[in-house]
Structure 1
Amino acid sequence: MAFVALTRNRQQPLTPLSPSMPTSMPSVQEVIPPLPITPPDPVDPQTRASEDAASVVTAIHVISTERAGLANLEHIYRTDKLAQENFGRAVTQIIKSIKNGGKLVVCGVGKSGKIGQKLEATMNSLGIYSAFLHPTEALHGDLGMIRQNDTIILISFSGRTPELQLFLPHVPPTVPIIAITAHMHPSTCPLLSYQSPDMGILLPAPIHEDEDTSFGVCAPTTSTTVALALGDALALATARRLHTQPGKGPAEVFKSFHPGGAIGAAFSVSTPTSMSTSLSTTSFTSMPPDYLQAKTVEQKTPSETEPSGQQCGQLITDIATPLHHIPTVTSTTQVRLLDILLAAIQNPNAKSWVKLSDEEIIPPHRLRSISRGSSVDVSVSDLPSPIGVGQKDWLRVSASSTVEDVRQWLSDYRRAGSEVSIVCVVDDTAPDEFLAVVEAEDVCGDCG
C-alpha cells in the first residue's frame, strides 16, 4: 500500500493549487554555489610552448610528406615512358574535343570531386571549355550534359569509386575517358574497363606511401595534393598547345577571363615596351666577335649624355635574368628536348632560360618555338637547327647601361643587317665576368 501511495504522489501535477507545490522557490544562489573569487590557475607556459612546438612538428611532417609525394609524381613522369605517352595523348584528346566544339567533363566524388571542381575552374580560366559533373546527379538526369564530342576526366585515387562505376556504363562508347588514379597501368584500372584501349587514357597519380602510414589517418591528403598538381600540369600543357597564335597565347587568354578582382587590377597595368614578350622566332645569325665585343667597353661620356650623376632610364640589369638562377641541363645519355623543358619547369626563377653548358644558352623564345613544333623525345643533336646560342654571338653590355642604351645599340645592329638574340650583362670593371642575360626581343621588340 505504501508503494501505491508513493505512486499517486508522483503523478500529481505541480500546479499553484497543488499541496505538493513548495510555497517558496530557492534562489539561484542557493541552488548554484558561487564561483570562487580566486581565478583558476593559468596554463603552464612551458606546457603551451610544448603543445605549439608539437603542432609545428606535425605541420612540417605533413608538408614534407606531401612534398615527397610530389617528388614521386615528378619521378614517374620524368622516367616512365607509358606515363609520358599517356599524358601527351590526354592533351591531344582534350584539344581535339575543344576544336570539334566539345568540352571537357570532369567527374569525381568527395575530396576527389573537390579537386575536379578546381581543375574545371582552371581549365575554363585558360580558355578550355569544361564542366563538372557529379556521377550521382548524372544518373538523375545530368547525363544530358555529355555530348558526342566531349572528353571525360575521372578522378579517383582507388579507381574503384562506386558512384563512378555505376555512372560509366551509361557513358556513350564514343566518348573518351581520361582516368587520374593511383594505378600505373590501364589494365589494372577498373575505371577503364568499360572502354576499348584506344578510348581510355590513364594518368597515374600514385603516392609514395599510404596516408594511414604517413599520418595515422586515412584522410585524403597526399593523394589529393598529387591529383591537384597533375590536374594543373594537364591544364597548362593543354593551354600551351591550344593557344599558339601570337598575342593570343595562354597568358593573354587568362588575362581576358580575369577582368575583376586583384588579378584583373594587376593585369590592367600596362606593360612597358622593354618587357614585351613577343613569341616571334628569333634569328640566330652569327656576328663577328669583335663587333659584338665593341659595345662592352663603349660608354658615353657625360658631355654626350645627361649631366654627371643624372643618368636617365631603367638599367638593363633591372630586366635581365641573373646567370646563377639559370640551370644547366644534364642527362645520362643524349640531351632530349624533354630534359630541357623539365630543367626550365623546375627552375621558375630562371624564367625559361636553360644552359646547355657555360658557353651555350637557350633563350626562352627559342625554347618555346622549338617545343611547339617538335616531339619532346627528340635529341638536341637531331634538331634541324641549333637550339642554343654560343657566347661569341652574345652582345655584351656593361651593367651600368640603361635599357635605352641597349635598345639603341640593337637598333644600330639591325640597320646594319645583323641580328642579336641575347644581350649579356657584364661587370663594369671586369668585362669577362658575366652577370645576367636578357633577350633582345624583351629589350626592344621590333626596334629597327
Structure 2
Amino acid sequence: MVEHHPVHNSEVYLLGLAPRPSVPPPSPPSPVTPREVEQNSVIEELCLDDADGAEDPAGIDSLAQQRISGAIHVLSTEATALRSLTCLYKTDATAAQGFNAAVETITRHKGDKGKLIIIGVGKSGLIGRKLVATFNSLGVQATFLHPTEALHGDLGKIGKHDVVLFITFSGKTRELLTLLPHLDETLPVIVLTSHTRPEACEISRQRPGTILVPAPIHESEIASFGVSAPTTSTTVALALGDALAVVSSQELHATVTSVFAKNHPGGAIGESFDKPRQIRDLAVPLVEVPIWPESSGEACGADILKLGYESQSGWARVGDAIASPGRIRRLDTGRLTLKLRDIPDLVVERVEWIRIHADTRVSQAAQWLREPLISLEPGEAGAYDEDSILAVMDNGEVVGVLEASQLLSWQE
C-alpha cells in the first residue's frame, strides 16, 4: 500500500490606408442617421494608420508600387470591415443577442445527438464548407448541404436534433428561400447575413423565430473596389463563422486543445501536438471521468474496476475521491468484493490531490515533481510518487486529472 500525504498550497504557476484606385462615381449616398455618424466615427478611430504618413518601399518601379498600393488598399478595407464588425458586436444588442442565441442553439445537445447543417450557394457555399471543417476539427459535429441537392433527396441528411445555418449576404438567396418551406418547423434555423435587423432579412420574415447573426460590411464592395465581387463580405462571414465555431467548442469541451489535437493528427499542426507543452494538454478532463452513482449504494472494488474499464479515460470517481488507471490496474482480485472503505489504496480523496496550474510547462512540472521533498508550509514537507494524483487547476477550478507517473517518466 502506498501512503499518500495530504498536500496544501501546492499549486504551481508559470508563471496604412493607401489612395484608392479610380472607380466609377458612386450613386448619391443615402441620408446618414445620427447613429451611423457615431458608429463611423468609432470605426475611423479603429482603422489602420493613415497612409499620409506612410513611406513607399525603396527600390521599386512605378508598376510595382501601384500593385503594392492596390494590395494595401484591399487589406486595409477588409481590416476595416472586421473592425467595424467588432464594433457592432460590442455595441449592438440585436447582434449580441443573435450570437448568444446561435451558440446556445448549436450547443444545446451536449452529447452526439445533433449536428450543425451549413447551407449556402456560390461564395457563401465555399465559406460554409470551410466552416464545416473548422467546426469538426474543434469537436462540433457539422456537415455541408447544398440547397439544390437537398431538394433532390439530400434532405435526409437533416435529423430532428440538428441545427441549420444559412449563409447568405443578401438574406434572400433564391435557392435558400425555395428550400425553407421544406424544413421542419421545429428545426432551429440560424442565418448569417448582412442585415442587422430581422425585419430587413427575407429569410427571417418568411421564417419567424430565425436566429439572426449579422455580418454587415461598412461599405459596398463596389464603393471599395469598383466591382461587386465578394471580398469584404466573405471575409466578415468567415471571421464570424470562426467565432461561432471557437466559442461553441469552448462551451462543449473542457479542453479544446486536446480535442483539436485528437482531430488533427496530420501535417505540421499535428506534429506540433506530438509533444504536449502544457499540463492541460496531458490531463484527462474531469468532466470525462465517470462517477459512481450514489443511488447504487456503497461501491466495492469490482464496481470501480468496471467503471474504469468502461471509461475511455480509464479513470473512475466516487464522490470527491478518484481512482486512477494505475491504481485500478493494480487492484488485487482478492479485493474485488471488498467495500471501498476496506481498500484504502484504491481511491484518493480530493484533499490529497496535488494541485498544479493548467498552464504549467510539462518539462517544468516534471522537474518539480522529481524533487524528493516538496516544501509545503514552514516545517512541513511531503513526498510524491508515481501513484500521486495531480489536479489540474484553471481559474481556481479542477479541470483535469493526471497520474504523477506520467511526469516522473517524462522525457523531452
Which of the five TM-score ranges fits, normalised by the shorter chain?
Answer: 0.5 to 0.7
Determine helix, strand or coil for the equivalent of 1:202. strand
In structure 1, stretches of 5+ residues that fail to align are 1-45, 281-363, 367-400, 419-437
What's the CA shift string for 1:271-326, capped at 9, x where partnerless?
3669978988xxxxxxxxxxxxxxxxxxxxxxxxxxxxxxxxxxxxxxxxxxxxxx
Q: TM-score, normalised by structure 1?
A: 0.52
- Pick from 115, 128, 148 the counterpart of residue 140 of structure 2: 128
> What TM-score results when the alignment is normalised by the length of structure 2?
0.56
Alpha-carbon distance, 1:100 to partner: 6.3
1:10 match: none
Q: Which runs of structure 2 are paired with 1:365-384 in the superposition (5 Å)?
A: none
- Alignment of 1:412 with 2:351, yes or no, is no
Aligned-residue offset at 1:193: 2.4
Report what 1:177 is aligned to. 189
1:242: Cα distance to partner? 0.5
Alpha-carbon distance in 2 for matches of 1:216, 1:104: 36
Greater Rg by CA: 1
User: Is the 8 Å Cα contact of residues 95 and 238 (structure 1) preserved in structure 2?
Assistant: yes
70 and 406 in structure 1: CA distance in 2 versus 1, 3 angstrom threshold: farther
Q: How does 1:48-447 map to 2 (within 5 A)?
A: 49-97=61-109, 99=111, 101-197=113-209, 200-244=210-254, 249-271=255-277, 411-413=374-376
Shift of 1:191: 1.3
- Whole-angstrom distance in 2 between the partners of 1:266 and 1:169: 46
Unaligned runs of 5+ in 2: 1-57, 287-356, 382-393, 405-412
CA distance in 2, matches of 1:58, 1:150: 43
Q: CA deviation at 1:196?
A: 2.9
1:68, distance to aligned residue in structure 2 (A): 0.3
The residue type paired with residue 125 of structure 1 is S
- The alignment partner of 1:121 has SS state of helix
Superposed CA deviations along residues 121-179 of structure 1, whole A, max 9, x for unmatched, are 10111111111001111111111111111100000111111111111111111111100
CA contact (8 A) 2:258 2:281 kept: no
Question: Helix, strand or coil for the counterpart of 2:375?
Answer: helix
SS in 1 for 2:192: strand
Question: 1:240 is matched by which residue type in structure 2?
Answer: Q
Cα deviation code 1:355-409 (max 9, x no counterpart) = xxxxxxxxx979xxxxxxxxxxxxxxxxxxxxxxxxxxxxxxxxxx99968997x
Contact 1:119 1:232 in 2 (8 A): yes
- Tell me the CA shift for residue 194 of structure 1: 3.1
CA contact (8 A) 1:100 1:149 kept: no
Q: Distance in 2 between matches of 1:143 and 1:402?
A: 52
SS in 2 for 1:99: coil
Dislocated runs of 4+, deviation >6 Å: 274-280, 405-408, 415-418, 438-441
Distance 1:62 1:261 in 2: 31
Distance 1:214 1:65 in 2: 7
**What is the Cα-based RMSD across aligned positions, in Å?**
3.8
CA distance in 2: counterparts of 1:415 and 1:119, whole angstroms: 54
Partners of 1:97 and 1:150 within 8 A in 2: no
SS at match of 2:108: helix
Question: Is the CA contact 1:97–1:104 (under 8 Å) kept in the aligned structure 2?
Answer: no
Question: 1:260 is aligned with what amino acid?
Answer: G
Q: Which residue of 1 aligns with 2:409?
A: none
Which whole-Å CA distance do the structure 2 matches of 1:120 and 1:129 have between them? 8
Higher RCO structure, 1 or 2 (CA under 8 Å, sep 6+): 2
Question: In structure 2, what is the Cα distance between the partners aligned to 1:85 and 1:417?
Answer: 53
SS in 2 for 1:96: coil
Cα distance in 2 for partners of 1:417, 1:206 equals 61
Contact 1:279 1:365 in 2 (8 A): no
> Aligned equivalents of 1:402 and 1:242: distance in 2?
28
Distance 1:84 1:259, change over 3 A: same
